[in-house]
Amino acid sequence: MIKYVSTRGSQDIKTAAQAVIQGISEDKGLYVPTDIPALPFKPEEMQGKTYQDMAAKVISSFFTDYTEEEMQACINGAYDSKFEEKEIAPIVKGGEAYFLELYHGKTAAFKDMALSILPYLLTTAMKKEKEEKKICILTATSGDTGKAALEGFADVAGTEIIVFYPNQGVSQVQERQMVTQEGANTHVFAINGNFDDAQTGVKKIFNDSNFAAELAAMNCKLSSANSINIGRLVPQVAYYVYTYVKFLEKGVLKSGEKMNVVVPTGNFGNILAAYYAREMGIPIGKLICASNENKVLTDFINTGCYDIRRDFYLTNSPSMDILISSNLERLLYHLSGGNAAEIKDLMESLDREKVYQVSDKIKSGLVDFYGGYATVAETAAVIGEMYQKNGYLMDTHTAVAYKVYEDYVGETGDKTPTVIAATASAYKFADSVASAIGLGEEKDGFAYVKALHEKTGVRVPAGLKGLEQKEIRHTGVLDIDQLQTAVKDCLK
Ligand SMILES: *Cc1c(COP(=O)(O)O)cnc(C)c1O
């Protein structure tokens, strides 16, 4: 059975179900599998199988304490007609690259891929563990996780969901999606700060044992819907496995040949999932990590030094406006050979000094990664070029990835077939995308949605239609030091 341990080394050993409920370890570390399982099948055997078939097998091989029936029920509940494409994650060619479109779920961003299933994994875990407390999901969001978590958990029995997003740090469409959320158990707050402030605030609440005791007295327990929760991360591994199988099916690759993967990266969850797929045995060459102007990761991959003593930028790819990429901690743990003491030191150094330098051993493990970044102007330029040349519409995050892919190919000449994680619908960032393809000024984000649709004919995701007419239900704005009180008020 695969168990889950903390990256920071306390003797905290959990089953998958327990780790999903707990979210983050009490020692502040993240749960990682003791072993990354090998693929439970040969990729060529899976040709012709559905997304659901592959996801069930991949997730089950990490979550060995879930029975086959339990996992199948989770899969069936998650990956159904709420996805607007039957294939769940279609692969579409644009220029020389293949785009893995991960945004056809309810909230039009890739976060739906994992957050459609997380509520099922969590409620199943609660049954298995006979957990009778109400689970309160705390979520810091750079824009997309919040909405996807709200949709996933709205009116799920035994849960309450609270989302914190950076005031002025998300697009107008993203904000409206969240503040119009229905459901008796949903709570949404803007916070005066950026995503890192929100994430740090939420982590602080998780690590406050007095607060946990207070909540326990109210019969509540905290958990997380951020990618710090292993239940968010593991379902994401499935779509990289799926892509490889589709590449075999389409004849893009022959059995055993490698593909490269490009991921627009913020909290490092999505690209870590690709790394897990590779460790399972999927032939992946380079893992290309694309950042916007908040390029801590580009610098880290190139130098081994993680340094957040720098300016923070608000860009046109706001879901990646992040300096502290939480899931990198998991990669470092694996690359260090499971040296939790070393990881604890690094993370404490980041807390204290805002910088750390990894050992040569970890640094040598980074050779499989390539780091690059795109500026706001470069991002807009590639959206325009791609649309003009190929008629393919990219959102700003996907465009960051595409630009870094172009740079990578220019630098290395590497012709390996490449998949780019397309992480959001262009309509979520309609203002930036519309101006990138040469449309004029509109009065607000919703008018841009309309203009973009008229120009391109690309379908508007159902969840974004009529958004401007929906009732606004959440209006709270908090300072960073008010999060705890707000959580308590929501749970009263
Ligand atoms: C969350 C998000 C990302 C970054 O993904 P991570 O897993 O946090 O690295 C990229 N693009 C979009 C559209 C997102 O919502």
111 lines ligand 1 (CB under 6 A): yes
User: What pLDDT score does 443 carry?
Assistant: 85
What number does CATH give the domain 91-108+231-459?
3.40.50.1100
User: What pLDDT score does 186 carry?
Assistant: 98
User: What pLDDT score does 292 carry?
Assistant: 98
Cα distance between residue 320 and residue 266, in whole Å: 4
**What residues contact 296, with CB distance under 8 A and at least 6 apart?**
306, 307, 308, 310, 323, 325
403 lines ligand 1 (CB under 6 A): no
Cα distance between residue 478 and residue 486, in whole Å: 8
Q: Report the separation in Å between the CA atom of 266 and the middle of ligand 1, taken as the mean of its atom positions.
A: 5
Note if the pTM is more than 0.85. Answer: yes
User: What pLDDT score does 444 carry?
Assistant: 86
Per residue, what are the HEC states of the chain? CCCEEECCCCCCEECHHHHHHHCCCCCCCCEEECCCCCCCCCHHHHCCCCHHHHHHHHHHHHCCCCCHHHHHHHHHHHCCCCCCCCCCCCEEEECCEEEEECCCCCCCECHHHHHCCHHHHHHHHHHHCCCCCEEEEEEECCCHHHHHHHHHHCCCCCEEEEEEEECCCCCHHHHHHHHCCCCCCEEEEEECCCHHHHHHHHHHHHCCHHHHHHHHHCCEEEEECCCCCHHHHHHHHHHHHHHHHHHHHHCCCCCCCCEEEEEECCCCHHHHHHHHHHHHCCCEEEEEEEECCCCHHHHHHHHCEEECCCCCCCCCCHHHCCCCCCCHHHHHHHHCCCCHHHHHHHHHHHHHHCEEECCHHHHHHHHHEEEEECCHHHHHHHHHHHHHHHCCCCCHHHHHHHHHHHHHHHHHCCCCCEEEEECECHHHHHHHHHHHCCCCCCCCHHHHHHHHHHHHCCCCCHHHCCHHHCCCCCCEEECHHHHHHHHHHHHC
139 lines ligand 1 (CB under 6 A): no
Q: Report the separation in Å between the CA atom of 265 and the middle of ligand 1, taken as the mean of its atom positions.
A: 6
Pocket test for ligand 1, best of 267, 276, 383 (most atoms within 8 A of CB): 267
What residue spans define the domains of the chain? Answer: 91-108+231-459
Question: Under the phi-then-psi rule, with left for phi > 0, alpha for psi from -120 to 50, and beta for the rest, what region is 310?
Answer: beta
331 lines ligand 1 (CB under 6 A): no
Q: Report the separation in Å between the CA atom of 446 and the middle of ligand 1, taken as the mean of its atom positions.
A: 22
428 lines ligand 1 (CB under 6 A): no
Which atom of ligand 1 is the closest one to the Cα of 236? Answer: 7
Cα distance between residue 29 and residue 25, in whole Å: 5
Could you tell me the CA-to-CA distances from 394 to 127, 193, 304, 371 in Å, in that order? 41, 28, 31, 20
Q: Report the separation in Å between the CA atom of 139 and the middle of ligand 1, taken as the mean of its atom positions.
A: 14
**What residues contact 260, with CB distance under 8 A and at least 6 apart?**
284, 285, 286, 287, 288, 414, 416, 417, 418, 419
Average pLDDT, the chain: 96
User: What pLDDT score does 10 carry?
Assistant: 80
268 lines ligand 1 (CB under 6 A): yes
Residues of the chain with pLDDT under 70: none
146 lines ligand 1 (CB under 6 A): no
Pocket test for ligand 1, best of 106, 270, 275 (most atoms within 8 A of CB): 270
User: What pLDDT score does 78 carry?
Assistant: 97
